[in-house]
Amino acid sequence: MARRVWRAVVEGITPYDPGKPLEALMGELGLSELVRLSANESPLGPSPRVVEAIRREAERAHLYPDGGSCALREALGRHLGVSPAQVVIGNGADELISLVALAAFDPGDEVVVPVPSFEPYVTSVTLAGARLVASPLAGYEVDLDDVRRRVTARTKAVILCSPHNPATTIIRRAALLALLKAFGEDPPLIVLDEAYCDFCDDPDYPNGIALLAAHPRLLVLRTFSKIAALAGLRVGYAVGGLETIDRLNRVRAPYNINRLGQAAALAAVSDAEHRERTRRLVLEERAFMSRELARRGLTFPGSQANFLLVKIPNAGAVRERLLRAGLVVRDGAAVGFPDHLRISLGTHEANQRLLRALDAA
Ligand SMILES: Cc1ncc(COP(=O)(O)O)c(C=O)c1O
């Protein structure tokens, strides 16, 4: 019998499809310029202070980075009001999701995930050989009552996302607190992905980090990709109980965050003004686009993120038309919402261009 090299679970995995690189798409479409509104990137770009920090650090590229990302963890600890020992930095929040799986999930374990959700949750559960227990969304909302009903003695973790990607909605404070209370003294790990928390303006949005003192099995994921516009450098972080952070540190690669990423993120932590400018732009554009799309009779859940999930007939065809007009948006069908487009909020100019192209389509 032929030697079986690859794990069976790997054979079942579809590689994550990040879409074609912008340059390749432009060549294919014969366009000299393309606006990407499909990856929920920052419309403003990184702060000048961050760019300068990257420049300075480039000269030290021959030296291994600080394997413990100590300066960054200390700065984050001060910024968030937690001990640096409660923070682990990841190569993007993406890596932290994999680390949780590596440290916690054995074959046969159950992991409850609202579905659809950000795709890497399901991939990491599957790769670990664990069993995905899917909790269907109620429309555009995570249904925490349903999540709770699906938790058993075999449940290792619950992976929640708020604001939700792709649905843009939040888990409200009372519902989250009720879930945490219902889990009692020996809860599963509760991974709360807050990648888009900086764009929330709903007073009912709970700050996961404030809940950590009372809930040591809660693990909050955040990222520098969105509010700090460092998606290209891959820096995310997890904040949690000491035991959880210790286990994640055991399974991560020794130098998982490169020098430029650490220097950039450190500069970003200290630039509150740039964060505020980014937040203001996203919130203003979100209000503008919500108004304009509603005026055109389109429907979508009220967004608390830096993107909108818009219901639209013939979404695939509309996406193609937008693409030919130089605008890339995400087909909802690819993220569990057929007949929708997921549209990142761009600059005011990009958003106006999108509206014109939508009208023409
Ligand atoms: C919900 C959610 N979590 C995590 C991530 C990944 O963040 P990072 O760029 O830090 O890997 C994303 C990226 O789009 C996301 O939407």
Instruction: Report the 3 state secondary structure along 32-55.
Output: CCCEEECCCCCCCCCCHHHHHHHH
- Same-domain status, 154 and 224: yes
- C-alpha to C-alpha distance for 12 and 126, rounded to whole angstroms: 9
Span from the CA of 223 to the centroid of ligand 1 (angstroms): 7
Closest atom of ligand 1 relative to the 225 alpha carbon: 9
For 352, the domain range is: 18-40+273-360
CB of 231 sitting under 6 A from ligand 1: yes
Share of the chain above pLDDT 90, in %: 93
Determine, yes or no, domain membership for 97: yes
Determine, yes or no, domain membership for 2: no
Could you give the number of structural domains in the chain? 2
CB of 223 sitting under 6 A from ligand 1: yes
CB of 161 sitting under 6 A from ligand 1: yes
Give the strand pairing for 131-136 and 110-115: parallel
- What's the whole-number mean pLDDT along residues 22-39? 91
Residue nearest to atom 11 of ligand 1 (CA): 92
How many separate helices (H) and strands (E) can be counted in the chain?
Answer: 13, 11
Span from the CA of 94 to the centroid of ligand 1 (angstroms): 6
- Same-domain status, 326 and 241: no
CB of 168 sitting under 6 A from ligand 1: no
Of the candidates 252, 270, 288, which is a domain's last residue? 270
Q: Is 224 exposed, middle or buried (0-12, 13-18, 19+ CB in 10 A)?
A: buried
C-alpha distances out from residue 346 to 168, 266, 282, 353, Å: 16, 25, 8, 10
CB of 38 sitting under 6 A from ligand 1: no
Share of the chain above pLDDT 70, in %: 100
Q: Provide the Cα torsion 125, 16, 226, 122; round to 10°.
A: -20
Determine, yes or no, domain membership for 12: no
Span from the CA of 268 to the centroid of ligand 1 (angstroms): 17
- C-alpha to C-alpha distance for 218 and 209, rounded to whole angstroms: 9
CB of 40 sitting under 6 A from ligand 1: yes
- CATH code, domain with 108: 3.40.640.10
CB of 271 sitting under 6 A from ligand 1: no
C-alpha distances out from residue 16 to 120, 122, 261, Å: 8, 11, 23
Determine, yes or no, domain membership for 10: no
Residue nearest to atom 12 of ligand 1 (CA): 195
- Same-domain status, 179 and 299: no
Model confidence pLDDT, tens digit, residues 176-211: 999 999 999 999 999 999 999 999 999 999 999 999
- Same-domain status, 222 and 286: no
The pLDDT of residue 208? 97
- What's the whole-number mean pLDDT along residues 129-141? 98
Closest atom of ligand 1 relative to the 196 alpha carbon: 1
CB of 191 sitting under 6 A from ligand 1: no
- What's the whole-number mean pLDDT along residues 227-243? 98
- Same-domain status, 262 and 206: yes
Determine, yes or no, domain membership for 185: yes
Q: Identity (one letter) of the amino acid at 305?
A: A
CB of 225 sitting under 6 A from ligand 1: yes
- Same-domain status, 74 and 131: yes
- CATH code, domain with 356: 3.90.1150.10
Span from the CA of 30 to the centroid of ligand 1 (angstroms): 30
Give the strand pairing for 35-37 and 218-223: unpaired
Within 13 Å and on the Cβ side, how many CA atoms surround 129? 7
Tokens representing 106? 């054995």
- C-alpha to C-alpha distance for 226 and 223, rounded to whole angstroms: 7
- C-alpha to C-alpha distance for 184 and 146, rounded to whole angstroms: 17
CB of 195 sitting under 6 A from ligand 1: yes
- C-alpha to C-alpha distance for 59 and 206, rounded to whole angstroms: 41
Model confidence pLDDT, tens digit, residues 297-353: 999 999 999 999 999 999 999 999 999 999 999 999 999 999 999 999 999 999 999
Span from the CA of 100 to the centroid of ligand 1 (angstroms): 15
Work out the mean pLDDT of the chain and round it to a whole number.
97
The pLDDT of residue 15? 84
Tokens representing 41? 């990137």
Determine, yes or no, domain membership for 56: yes
The pLDDT of residue 14? 84
Closest CA to 220 of 265, 268, 277, 180: 180
Name the least confident of 21-30, 129-138, 195-204: 21-30
> What pTM value is reported for the model?
0.97
Of the candidates 254, 270, 286, which is a domain's last residue? 270
The band of 280, judged by pLDDT with boundaries at 50, 70 and 90, is very high
Pocket-testing residue among 122, 198, 219, 225, ligand 1, by greatest number of atoms within 8 A of Cβ: 225
Q: Identity (one letter) of the amino acid at 141?
A: E
CB of 117 sitting under 6 A from ligand 1: no
Determine, yes or no, domain membership for 71: yes
Of the candidates 270, 285, 303, which is a domain's last residue? 270
- Same-domain status, 62 and 157: yes
- C-alpha to C-alpha distance for 58 and 338, rounded to whole angstroms: 44
Span from the CA of 40 to the centroid of ligand 1 (angstroms): 9
Span from the CA of 113 to the centroid of ligand 1 (angstroms): 16
Q: At what angle do helices 92-104 and 120-127 cross, to 10 degrees?
A: 30
Determine, yes or no, domain membership for 9: no
